[in-house]
Structure 1
């Protein structure tokens, strides 16, 4: 099948692409774009009760369910421990291979130099370093190189709120319910682990009451659902991306034209 565009979102843990870029990816999928998510860890530390192995399996099931809500065609999860991601040769090689196999036109990931989760920063660094080898056939010779480097964008997370530049702002009002349902699919994170750590687990909604689930996520994750004041356009719900200083040279206008949203 021919696709007008192929996008790869590289995250550190299953659920992050959904939270930080899910609305945009749903809108792109709706216009026929091929979207893939790649998590560099299996998320096996993200709970206060579950042990690593059963949590890893549960989080994979959550990710695949979330993908269906967003029209994501593939969700690759590397079997690296949560909390132990290192920007080493093995993971960089896996990312180079994935970018090539997907033939990605656009790669989206985290900022690599700012505060926040060390896995997220490592994921950003890995993509930065991998992007320089995507067209070099002598690196990872078992997978054909790309003809041109992908455009690279950075997505926001908790640690990058103060440094992120809102270069490309996407109205996700048309896809907000799909994004919220994708987030809700990650019950371990949105209804269990984060509420426990942040002290509001007693407010967690009953699964199956969608109105309550939706309101809960909007209440406690507003900075990643609603448009931030720094974003332009007057949207109620928005996501934004910063042009990376690596990958194929591009401009805000070129990215907006490419996304055609």
Structure 2
């Protein structure tokens, strides 16, 4: 049975980092996957900005989507200035209704970046409301609430990530995920290394850059690489790479049918 999965990140590379392998796996199995960035990415660089960076990041996301076989939607909120307003909530409600997903993934509400936190709040505020006919009446309400879940992170306060689903990512799809990340040049080879103080370590040669990226030099990538070790007791066999998700109490319960369709 074909399903629809919506991954909502704050920035144009967030979904790729946290759920790129899962997205490739779903697309390969014939499911529909849509990545959404709540902001346009214009703040994510140390040298570029404005419309030039917005267009660059839009092109990077489109290239990554082609590799994964998914769709990518970038909304117009300015990067670094996202707020959980009623207007943005209603836009998100309409978007979720139009796409009618079975599963929605997003950031947890406790996170270092305000855009991540507010993305999480907007998604959680839209949950349940997507089923109310008198809310945004111009867009037909959903008959039932999707399952909502959180993407993996390592934040401990007020509580640490508690995975309900752990997905092993096989080597061929790990390679495809890194191909996706390789498309986000402005981030993985420029802004994130600059912000981490390791920009001088990034090779100039494209092939060597890709090899460097696969060493997981950036904290957010290392978290994903280390997920299999952290969650070893939840995995069977010799799994080297995994992605994990925590089901939110704000959506529908994860039933056996959806689990079998998407996670097994």
Q: Fold match, TM over 0.5? A: yes
Q: Report what 1:222 is aligned to.
A: 222
| 1:228 positional shift | 4.2
2:132 to 119, 131, 136: 136
| 1:214 positional shift | 3.7
CA distance in 2, matches of 1:193, 1:224: 19
CA distance in 2, matches of 1:115, 1:109: 12
Q: Report what 2:73 is aligned to.
A: 76
Mark the runs of 5 or more structure 1 residues left unpaired by the alignment.
none
Q: Is the 8 A contact 2:154 2:160 kept in 1?
A: no
Matching of residue 259 in structure 1 with residue 246 in structure 2? no
| 1:159 positional shift | 4.2
Q: Is the 8 A contact 2:153 2:223 kept in 1?
A: no
CA 1:235 to 1:160, structure 2 compared with 1: closer, same or farther past 3 Å? farther
Deviations 1:166-215 (A, max 9, x none): 21000112410111111111111100001111111112133531x54144
CA distance in 1, matches of 2:39, 2:196: 23
| Aligned-CA RMSD value | 1.9
CA distance in 2, matches of 1:23, 1:214: 18
CA 1:135 to 1:207, structure 2 compared with 1: closer, same or farther past 3 Å? farther
Q: Report what 1:89 is aligned to.
A: 86
| 1:226 positional shift | 4.0
CA distance in 1, matches of 2:103, 2:168: 19
Q: Is the 8 A contact 1:38 1:76 kept in 2?
A: yes
Matching of residue 244 in structure 1 with residue 253 in structure 2? no
After the TM superposition, which parts of structure 1 deviate over 4 Å for at least 4 consecutive aligned residues? Answer: 158-162
Q: Report what 1:167 is aligned to.
A: 164
Residue correspondence of structure 1 range 192-203 to structure 2 within 5 A: 192-203=190-201
Q: What SS does structure 2 have at the residue aligned with 1:247?
A: coil
| 1:97 positional shift | 1.1
| 1:260 positional shift | 4.5
Greater Cα offset, 178-187 or 212-221: 212-221
CA 1:158 to 1:47, structure 2 compared with 1: closer, same or farther past 3 Å? farther
Q: Report what 1:150 is aligned to.
A: 146
Q: Is the 8 A contact 1:41 1:85 kept in 2?
A: yes
CA distance in 2, matches of 1:10, 1:244: 14
Count the aligned residue pairs: 255
Q: Is the 8 A contact 1:13 1:42 kept in 2?
A: yes
Q: Is the 8 A contact 2:24 2:177 kept in 1?
A: yes
1:205 to 203, 206, 212: 203
Mark the runs of 5 or more structure 2 residues left unpaired by the alignment.
none
CA 1:133 to 1:148, structure 2 compared with 1: closer, same or farther past 3 Å? same
| 1:160 positional shift | 6.3
Q: Report what 2:117 is aligned to.
A: 121
Q: Is the 8 A contact 2:9 2:107 kept in 1?
A: yes
CA 1:214 to 1:18, structure 2 compared with 1: closer, same or farther past 3 Å? farther
State the TM-score, normalizing by the size of structure 2: 0.90
